[in-house]
Homo-oligomer: A and B are copies of this chain.
Amino acid sequence: MNQNPIAIGIHGGCGTLEEELRNPDHWAEVRAALHASLQAAWRVLDGGGTALDAVEAAVVVMEDSEHFNAGHGAALNSAGDHELDAAIMDGSELRAGAVCAARTIRNPIRAARAVMEHSDCVLICGAAADQFAERCGMTPVPNSYFTTAQRRAALASLKARELAGTSAQASEAERHGTVGAVALDRAGNLAAATSTGGFNNKVPGRIGDSPIIGAGTYAANGVCAVSCTGQGEIFIRHVAAHEIAARLRYAGQGLEEATNAMIFNELSGHGIGAGVIALDAAGAVVAPFNTNAMARGWIGADGVAWVATHAQVHRAGG
């Protein structure tokens, strides 16, 4: 077959717990959730659908899973509330949509796409984002829909550390997490999507890199699609996703060189946890990260699904 390649890559956040802190069944569950996300996207791509539909489908599955810091299972801010950020970008026409500090949108990535397709805006914040989603036909959920026992425990732990003056020792697992997807469709279109609850104990009103086009999310046909995870402030300052694209486009770097430079030189230099899933126009996927772990998965042209949380990569469904 001489069909153009299709590919999907996803991440479920960098910096999770050490592997030995949970039993193997837990990690198998996370890998199964990653696989379900990949499959949702693959069905779209393999059926001739668009990269845009594929990244949305992949992210919705992770938003709906309690295992990831997005949608249900999102981080709690310091006030004990959820404020959700998401962005989607269609590399074919550099179209994009995003929401930030949303509180009642079950699937923020769907709202981001609606902003792109049904508004004159790229980014809508706060209650206006919630209201926009509702006008687009999305039934609002109470903010408590997003809460899980694990996130409540993480917030309590961080509050205790604050009182004890040991916040700096909070692990990445208590602090970060995001989900994202990048895809290439048969027509050669690239797309990227990112969704997050931010991080546990974040201050209300804080916006990270996920909904910022060029920082946490970027896609341009013929170049690459990128979704980031890690301490968002540093990604914003480095315009990280667009910087990776610029290195490919103008500096003659390959995807691996550009993403490694960003993660291991630029971002690691700030002492932060950082990871990225990225895909080039030929369908090559990379998933570099500088933390102990990053939930991730991909399916390349051969249709084989791979998933991982820590170092070991597993063939999924095999």
Contacts and interface: CB of A to CB of B under 8 A. Distances in A.
Per DSSP, are chain A's interface residues mostly helix, strand or loop, or mixed? mixed
Interface residues of A, number: 43
A60 to B, nearest CB: 23
Interface string A227-268: 000001100111100110011011100000000000000000
A218 B215 CA distance: 12
A213 B213 contact: no
Contacts of A129: 205
A259 B119 CA distance: 28
A267 to B, nearest CB: 11
Interface stretch (A33-41, A94-102, A178-186): A94-102
Contacts of A242: 214, 239, 242-243, 246
A120 interface: yes
Count this chain's copies in the assembly: 2
Interface string A96-132: 1000110000000000000000011111111111011
A119 B212 contact: no
A170 interface: no
A204 interface: yes
A206 interface: yes
A132 B207 CA distance: 14
Contacts of A214: 212, 214-215, 236, 239, 242
Contacts of A95: 237
A123 B159 CA distance: 23
A128 B205 contact: yes
Contacts of A96: 236-237
Nearest to A119: B203
Nearest to A77: B128
6 contacts: A100-B125, A124-B205, A124-B207, A128-B203, A242-B243, A246-B249
Interface of A: 89, 94-96, 100-101, 119-129, 131-132, 203-208, 212-215, 218, 232-233, 236-239, 242-243, 246-247, 249-251
Closest 6 CB pairs of A and B: A128-B205, A246-B246, A214-B239, A250-B250, A250-B251, A123-B207
Given A242-B242, A247-B250, 11 more contacts: A101-B125, A101-B126, A120-B203, A120-B233, A121-B203, A122-B232, A122-B233, A213-B239, A218-B239, A239-B239, A239-B242
